[in-house]
Every structure is written in C-alpha cells, then in structure tokens.
Amino acid sequence: MQTLMRDDTFQRIRTIVHEASGISLGDGKRTLVIARLGKRMRELEMGDYDTYLERLEGDSSGYEQERLIDAVSTNVTHFFREPSHFDDVSHILQDLAAQGRSRFRLWSAACSSGEELYSLAMTAHTALAGHDVDLKILGTDICNDVLARASKGVYPRDHVKGIPPEHRFTYLDRVDGQRDVMRITQELRDLVVLRRTNITRTPLPLQGPLDIVLCRNVMIYFGRSTRERLTREMARLIAPGGYLFVGHAESLHGITDKFNLIRPSVYQRNSR
C-alpha cells in the first residue's frame, strides 16, 4: 500500500468530498484521509491513490463517491450525548402537549448510527405518554454504513449503558441467542423514519413545519457559507417557536438572525 499521497491527488479528493458532502477537509487531514481510504482501497485491491482517483472520477453512478464519504465521515456518537438537551426536549414536549398540541415532528439531522435518534425517540415517547399524539421522528445522515446500523437498532450492551435505566428497561429488548447486544423495541422503531440525506444539498426534500431539530456535531465539519445556507434551510423548515439544538461546542453566533439563543447550543426559531 502506497502511504504517500501527492498534493494534487489530495486536493482533488478533498474537492470531491466537499462537493459531495459539504465536509471541509483542512490541510492537516491528509493523514486521516490516507488512513480512512486504506480499507476501501484494500477492498478494491488498489495500491495507489491515482488509480483510486481514476475509479472515483470515472464512476458516474455515484457509488464510489458514496463509499468515499462513508470512509471520511466521522461518525462518533453515543446515547444521550449532551444529556441536558434531552431534558430540554422533554420539557418542551410536555409543555406543548399540556397546551393541547397533538402533532409533533422531530428530526435528528446527522443521526449517525442512531444513538441520537433513539435517544430523542425515547425522550419524546416518555414525555408524551398519556397524550393521544401523532409523533414522527426523522433520522438522516449522509453515510450509508451508519444508517444501516441505525435501521437495525441493535447495539452492544456496552453502548446501551449510557441510556438512563428507566428507558433501558422500557425501550430495549434482548436479541435471541445474542447475549452481548440489545435491540431497540419495535414500538420505538416504528416512530422513526430513516433516510440518506445530504443536509448541505439545499433545498432539502423535507416537509416542515418541524418542532424540534437536533443538528449536533456536524456543522463543525462545514465551512462558514455551508453553515449559513444550512441554517437558512433549518429556518425554513422549523416552525416559528420551534427549536434547533446544535452541539455544545458549536454556535450560530453571527450566522443567522432567524433564531434566538435560549442558552448555549439551544436556539428557538423567531418570526423573522
């Protein structure tokens, strides 16, 4: 396996990644790209990056491009990551239900392997228990590999430890013959819809109005203009008064005037 990647090859690969996903790979990401491409190139039995690039550019089906995005995207996630967000979601939904709202549309915009999506679903289902509601939760991601895992809803026991015990008891089933994994219950899986979506390709093929959107730990991979465009799109889709959650390390400061900051990383759509 060739370990050096020429400058022009790296430039071309990062342009393709950016055009296909909005992900900006900085100059320092060459080692990461080399490491991540290794597996795909072994699958293709290719020893040099230029042959790979030729294959990538020659594939008009888009398949190889999808494999590339699968390889370079960072999918780190876990259940109930940034737990205060789920407390906020619970309070928001309980308040809306108490005011008589019965239709709820939630979206986990970069849901990775589903931990965020199912954390949202557990929170919403619990918060709205006892109310007759129409609840749907959409999960999207650009990466096929993680969406396949989300769709199975099967997780190692070690991973589900992050789920609060009361939810673990209610929303997880054993899997016959497999002691090391647990599956999200069918009831919860029935609430969610999964779709491969590139959230930087606007306008998005989604219908608003949405009540709560989690778009966490993904905008960090995008450049400023992409973040601005995505936030405009979020503003189009989120109902006035609806909420947008970003990662704790992210901010929309200076990016949009269509959301008011409620507290760090939690925004509410205003009527602008």
Ligand X SMILES: C[S@@+](CC[C@H](N)C(=O)[O-])C[C@H]1O[C@@H](n2cnc3c(N)ncnc32)[C@H](O)[C@@H]1O
Is 36 among the residues known to form the active site?
yes
Q: Is 112 in the site for ligand X (CB under 6 A)?
A: yes
Q: Is 221 in the site for ligand X (CB under 6 A)?
A: yes
Per-residue contact flags (x/-) with ligand X for residues 11 to 40, judged by CB under 6 A: ----------xxx-----------------
Q: Is 56 in the site for ligand X (CB under 6 A)?
A: no
Is 50 among the residues known to form the active site?
no
Pick one of 64, 66, 88, 116: the residue that binds ligand X (CB under 6 A): 116
| List 141, 227, 229, 269, catalytic entry | 141
Q: Is 110 in the site for ligand X (CB under 6 A)?
A: yes
Q: Is 98 in the site for ligand X (CB under 6 A)?
A: no
Whether 41 and 51 have beta carbons less than 8 Å apart is answered as no
Q: Is 229 in the site for ligand X (CB under 6 A)?
A: no
Q: Is 218 in the site for ligand X (CB under 6 A)?
A: yes
Q: How far is the CB of 16 from ligand X (least distance, A)?
A: 13
Per-residue contact flags (x/-) with ligand X for residues 243 to 272, judged by CB under 6 A: ----x-------------------------
Q: Which residues are catalytic?
A: 36, 141
